[in-house]
Amino acid sequence: MKHYRQLLLAMLLLLPVSIWAQQITSPNGKLQLQFELKENGKPYYALNFKDKPVIKWSALGIVAKNVPSFEDGFEIATTEENKVDTTWEPVWGEQKEIQNTYTELLIKLIQPEVQNRTIQLRFRLFNDGLGFRYEFPKQANLNYFVIEEEHTEFRLTGDHKIFWIPGDYDTNEYAYTTSKISEIPELMDEATIPINAQSPIGHPSVQTPSMMKSSDGLYINIHEAALINYPAMGLNVDAENKIFSTHLTPDAVGNKGYIQTDFNTPWRTIVVSDDARDILASNLILNLNEPTKYEDTSWIKPMKYIGVWWEYFVAGKSTWAYATETNVKLEDDFTKLTPNGKHGATNERVKAYIDFAAAHGMDGILVEGWNIGWEDWIGNWKENVFDFVTPYPDFDVEMLQAYANAKGVQLIMHHETSASATNYERRLDRAFQFMKDHNYPAVKTGYVGQIIPRGEHHDSQWMVNHYIHVAERAADYQIMINSHEAVRPTGLHRTYPNWIAQESARGTEFEAMGGLNPDHTTILPFTRLMGGPMDFTPGIFQTDLSYYGTGSTQRVNTTLCKQLAYYVTMYSPLQMAADIPDNYERFPDAFQFIEDVAVDWDDTYILEAEPGDYITIARKAKGAAAWFVGGITDENERTASIDFSFLPEGEKFIATVYADAKGASFDKNPQAYNITKYVVTSKSSLQQWLAKSGGVAISIEKATKETAKGLKRLR
């Protein structure tokens, strides 16, 4: 049967086709992709779900600066249909095994009036959505070109509800706005809140992953996969006609991409379902990325970590900087500067963090502010801010690593680049060698500020290549990367599994700078996390920052239990316990969940989900009979329905439930929680009340007679 199909395809390939329209159906029959060359040989595609349009006929095309454009004048040369059904195992992830099942349509287009130049459009139709890309084969008349703009359209079928942040070349750290598409233009100014080093596109536009919901209950997510050697895509919004179109990030001279054939653009992705849980469960973006080429991945290991970090956000407690001076140079003798008395990364402080990590099963300790240069690191578009190898006078790298390693934990490196990518690349080999010499397994990189090379943007082609270069070079040194302020992820962690986490969104730090909206983390998994894991840095137990008596009136807008739930709902293989150890020691029974929770998974079960409202997820720990559940809600209290059918049948388990106590709420009583143990089986279910911006966290292990003794059994 298989042989027969391949033969048929070969025939199609050999025969130029005269038809102008093509169509494929997803393996499960629910999705339909149509392709057609319309007026002047201009390519269009359309996408249906259960026979209802998701994307109406939308144009495809790329305009070049120095060669005739790839917009029209096409004829179909050949088409090829392919069906693929395979599985693969990620190095780490939400599942041990990932299914990759799709119908592929490859259309070779020819431009007879441009020296028979050819391009290809490759569509992959999965059961949960569509991916497609432009391909430019190597050919005599097409070696190099410069992109002026990509004109891929997404013509939507109605005035959908959309969870969006403004299109911007430099930052993803906006708060989400929930509105109708038609309301985007009027809300644009308000949504474009001040962010360090922002470059808003300047007309109505949104970023991807863009999450929408139609009035008839269809969930639609637009993003991209495998962003390599190409600028990141924003979406221009034609609010009147409900048309999105690609807006690529320009470089310093306004160009949008330097292309050498053969070349494939990133995939444009549309994940679609009438069940929101399918959006979170989708592996479409990962499947569209290439397998890793790393031969040895044994050194890539998910980690749980604490860090000298949150205390920098608690006003007045401690500082990254060591000295009071505000004008320093790398060649300065820092021992001669004036200590400000509040430096966070001191030997003493770090040893205390190491002690805590060792006592509580944390794998690593991130230390920010360990290296010289923080006195004037921001706002000056300065190139040589950091050298990544010189510690402050009160930070002894050798001593601290020895101290940590003796206790079975490791320090995690911090490379804030202040967005000076040139300075970082120049020093990269030395910085990584320093890490190897001192047994650092991972580094958190940061890109705060205006990019150097000056005129480039965080999301431009050059920077996209930079992040990948850093990941690849890190792999040469067996180092894991956790990048902050880098371009939003597009599933590249399949190809570069040592690029283990990213920030690229509004994370916990903003809880100390105005607070995150209570619904923020019910949106992030539908948006930012579609591309890959996020180093959201959960785990803040002391949510009222006035506690510190430093004059701060800031407040983390969650209950304590919601912070616990994040360890399951906010997937990251590099997962932080972000609060100050002192606070964990005040709530040791709650901290037990963080100690227990896994960071790598055999399987994931999306139990409940509605973007902007709630998420409940269960996961099975990798290679262990341990399950963890997290459930969160927005500003409204709710009752989560937790069905334990994800557990193996016929066995008994102990579920430890960490739940908001009666009367808890994020704004008034966030630290009220109960911890209850139940006996559960695969037939059990739990109706669990969550406070306003509250959450529930559950750890599950196999029951023994002794542990089950006296516990209530959940039906």
Judged by the rule CB under 8 A, the positions of this chain that interact with a second copy are 138, 143-144, 146, 251-253, 255, 258, 260-261, 326-327, 329, 376, 380-383, 422, 425-426, 428-430, 453-456, 462, 465, 469
Find out whether 95 and 601 touch, Cβ atoms under 8 Å: yes
Q: Nearest Cα to 616, choosing from 304, 285, 302, 280?
A: 280
Nearer CB in complex with a second copy: 429/585? 429
In single-letter form, the type of residue at position 220 comes to I
Find out whether 93 and 600 touch, Cβ atoms under 8 Å: yes
Q: Nearest Cα to 508, choosing from 563, 457, 449, 561?
A: 563
Q: What is the C-alpha to C-alpha distance for residues 617 and 625, in angstroms, rounded to an integer?
A: 17
Q: How far is the CB of 393 from a second copy (least distance, A)?
A: 21
Q: How far is the CB of 426 from a second copy (least distance, A)?
A: 5
Nearer CB in complex with a second copy: 420/558? 420
Residues 6+ apart with CB under 8 A from 656: 593, 675, 676, 677, 698, 699, 700
Phi, psi of 565 (to 5 degrees): -60, -30
Nearer CB in complex with a second copy: 432/567? 432
Nearer CB in complex with a second copy: 102/467? 467
Nearer CB in complex with a second copy: 145/163? 145
Q: Nearest Cα to 216, choosing from 157, 154, 279, 271?
A: 157
Catalytic residue chosen out of the listed positions 148, 375, 509, 511: 509
Six-digit token string for 652: 């008994």
Strand-strand pairing, 129-136 and 263-264: antiparallel
Q: How far is the CB of 321 from a second copy (least distance, A)?
A: 14
Nearer CB in complex with a second copy: 23/139? 139
Q: Nearest Cα to 72, choosing from 107, 122, 25, 119?
A: 119
Nearer CB in complex with a second copy: 234/250? 250
Q: What is the C-alpha to C-alpha distance for residues 308 and 371, in angstroms, rounded to an integer?
A: 13
User: How far is CA 692 from each of CA 21, 541, 588, 641, rounded to the nearest angstrom?
Assistant: 52, 16, 23, 16
Six-digit token string for 521: 């983390």
Write the DSSP symbol of residue 211.
E
Q: How far is the CB of 428 from a second copy (least distance, A)?
A: 8
Six-digit token string for 397: 């790298």
Q: Nearest Cα to 318, choosing from 354, 364, 349?
A: 349
Note if 509 is an active site residue: yes
User: How far is CA 494 from each of CA 283, 487, 505, 536, 563, rounded to the nearest angstrom?
Assistant: 11, 16, 20, 20, 28
Nearer CB in complex with a second copy: 456/459? 456
Six-digit token string for 17: 């086709």
Which residues are catalytic, by number?
509
